[in-house]
């Protein structure tokens, strides 16, 4: 799915030093330092790569990765372009606004999981949007217009002793069978958010353990409303080697 071409360094040797081309940066190391040392050492600290944005369209086309170690997320690039640190901090802040993660107090490139579970797909969606989009992060009610009808969906958090926090999907507008669309949206949350359907009306879902994760609920709504289109676009992105929100064409507003 991902285009890793930009993450594999190329080398050129001159005299007693070796220059490693890492993304957009040429890094010079003394004789005896191998390419494996350059890449493997920081990766051991960063942890597992969750998602890779092959090109940051808003900052010199650098490559940026999201990594997970224990419960800490790290946003990292090998680029040494001036201003990279500030750009990484901006991406981190947007990620924290989009996903249910909190900024680390000790580093501007890190965030901490606040959910009991690790939600792979929502975090990947959030990271991709944090890198590729610059629109203001939505606030207020969780709602969006349907792409297949004149309905407007609203997702409302509700609490009960039995299920913890659940989310009720409702719709307003003209459509012959609104309940079918509501059930489809709940199905989208099940597919992309690892949620479970609750209630006899089939219009509610909850995250694991009944946690309240409003940011994830908002983030996933544009994807949940049109599962077939998202799946098709994700498959095409797999073939292209890169997932981009521009390609997906889904806006969180």
Question: Does one domain contain both 105 and 164?
Answer: no
Question: Does one domain contain both 151 and 241?
Answer: yes
* pLDDT interval class at 93 (50, 70, 90): very high
Q: Which residue, chain included where needed, has tokens 């609203």?
A: 154
Global pTM reads 0.79
Q: Report how far residue 136's alpha carbon sits from residue 130's, in angstroms, rounded to the nearest whole number.
A: 11
Question: Does one domain contain both 158 and 219?
Answer: yes
Question: Does one domain contain both 116 and 36?
Answer: yes
**End of a domain among 132, 162, 190?**
132
**End of a domain among 85, 110, 132?**
132
Residue 241, pLDDT score: 55
Question: Does one domain contain both 203 and 231?
Answer: yes
3-state secondary structure 59-110: CCCCCEEEEEECCEEEEECCCCCCCHHHHHHHHHHHHHHHCCEEECCCCCCE
Asked whether residue 53 is assigned to any structural domain, the reply reads yes
Question: Does one domain contain both 11 and 110?
Answer: yes
Please write the tens of the pLDDT for every residue from 101-117: 999 999 999 999 999 99
Question: Does one domain contain both 31 and 82?
Answer: yes
Question: Does one domain contain both 197 and 123?
Answer: no
Lowest mean pLDDT, pick from 16-20, 62-66, 84-88, 111-115: 16-20
* pLDDT interval class at 248 (50, 70, 90): very low
Question: Does one domain contain both 47 and 82?
Answer: yes
Question: Does one domain contain both 168 and 238?
Answer: yes
Asked whether residue 103 is assigned to any structural domain, the reply reads yes
Q: Report how far residue 221's alpha carbon sits from residue 105's, in angstroms, rounded to the nearest whole number.
A: 29
Name the 3-class secondary structure at 211.
coil
Query: Closest Cα partner for 39 from 51, 53, 29, 54?
Result: 29
**End of a domain among 98, 132, 166?**
132
Structural domain total, the chain: 2
* Cβ density class 3-36: b for 16+ within 10 Å, e for less: eeebbebeeeeeeeebebebbbeebeeeeeeeee
Asked whether residue 47 is assigned to any structural domain, the reply reads yes
Residue 36, pLDDT score: 52
Question: Does one domain contain both 115 and 84?
Answer: yes
Asked whether residue 253 is assigned to any structural domain, the reply reads no
Asked whether residue 137 is assigned to any structural domain, the reply reads no
Asked whether residue 146 is assigned to any structural domain, the reply reads yes
Question: 173 pairs with which residues across the strands?
Answer: none
Range of the domain at 45: 5-132
Question: Does one domain contain both 214 and 115?
Answer: no
Please write the tens of the pLDDT for every residue from 127-164: 999 999 999 999 999 999 999 899 999 999 999 999 99
- Give the up-direction half-sphere exposure of residue 135: CA atoms within 13 A in the CB hemisphere: 12
Name the 3-class secondary structure at 113.
strand
């Amino acid at each position: 799915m991902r285009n890793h071409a930009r993450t594999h360094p190329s080398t050129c040797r001159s005299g007693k030093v070796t220059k490693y081309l890492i993304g957009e940066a040429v890094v010079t190391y003394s004789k005896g330092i191998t390419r494996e040392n350059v890449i493997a050492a920081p990766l051991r600290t960063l942890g597992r790569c969750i998602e890779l944005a092959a090109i940051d369209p808003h900052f010199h086309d650098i490559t940026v990765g999201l990594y997970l170690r224990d419960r800490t997320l790290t946003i990292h690039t090998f680029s040494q372009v001036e201003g990279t640190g500030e750009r990484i901090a901006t991406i981190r802040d947007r990620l924290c606004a989009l996903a249910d993660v909190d900024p680390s107090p000790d580093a501007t490139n890190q965030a901490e999981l606040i959910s009991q579970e690790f939600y792979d797909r929502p975090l990947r969606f959030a990271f991709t949007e944090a890198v590729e989009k610059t629109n203001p992060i939505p606030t207020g009610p969780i709602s969006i217009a349907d792409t297949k009808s004149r309905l407007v969906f609203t997702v409302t958090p509700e609490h009960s002793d039995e299920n913890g926090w659940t989310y009720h999907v409702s719709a307003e507008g003209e459509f012959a069978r609104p309940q079918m669309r509501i059930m489809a949206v709940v199905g989208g949350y099940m597919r992309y958010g690892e949620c479970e359907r609750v209630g006899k009306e089939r219009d509610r879902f909850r995250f694991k353990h009944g946690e309240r994760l409003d940011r994830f609920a908002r983030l996933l709504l544009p994807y949940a409303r049109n599962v077939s289109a998202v799946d098709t676009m994700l498959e095409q992105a797999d073939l292209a080697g890169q997932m981009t929100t521009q390609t997906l064409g889904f806006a969180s507003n």
